[in-house]
Amino acid sequence: MSDITQEQLRQACEQGDYALLLASIPYAQLIGVECSRQDDGLLFRLPANKDNIGNPLLPAIHGGVIAGFMELSAAVYLLITTGAPGVPKIIDFSLDYLRAGQFRDTYAKCQVWRQGRRVANVAITAWQDVEAEPIATARAHFKIQEPAKTAGP
C-alpha cells in the first residue's frame, strides 16, 4: 500500500468518504474496492468487474482477487479504526475459500479479535448475496505502528 498521510485519514473519517483514502491505494483502484459506513462498522464492496474474473466458464472471481480484496479490507479497516500513524504491515494471512465467488458484487466485514501495542489480529468474512453464507473467511495478523513518542517535560 502506498503512504497514507494522517491528514488523508482524518479527512476520510470526518467526511465518512473513504473513497479519498482508497484513491491513494493503487491496488484498491485496480480491482475497484469501495468502503462505506454501515451501522457501527465498515462495509467493503468489490463491485462485479469482468477484469476480476478468473474462471470465465462459470464465471467466477479469481481467488487471488478475493484474497487481495479481503487483505486490503482488513488493512484499511485497521487503519481507520485505530487511527494508526501509518499503514499496518501484513505479517500473516490465512484464507479459507468456502464456495466460488460468482460474477456479482462481493462484500466484506472485518472484526479486530485482538490488538496489542504492536500487533493486531483481524477476522474477515466475505459474502455475495447473504451475509450468513460466506464465500470466504480469513484471519490476518498485522504489525501496527506505534504513535510517535513525544518528549516529556
Q: Which helix (H) or strand (E) holds 38?
A: strand 34-38
Q: pLDDT tens digit string along 81-100?
A: 887 777 789 999 999 999 99
pLDDT, tens only, 35-52? 998 887 899 999 999 999
Does residue 59 have a cis bond before it (omega within 30 degrees)? Answer: yes
Q: What is the mean pLDDT of the chain?
A: 88
Q: What is the CATH number of domain 6-143?
A: 3.10.129.10
| Model pTM score | 0.88
Q: What 8-state DSSP symbol labels residue 103?
A: S
Question: Which parts of the chain register pLDDT below 70?
Answer: 1-3, 146-153
Residue ranges covered by each domain of the chain: 6-143
**What is the pLDDT, as a whole number, of residue 95?**
98
Looking at residue 150, what is its pLDDT?
44
3-state secondary structure of 2: coil
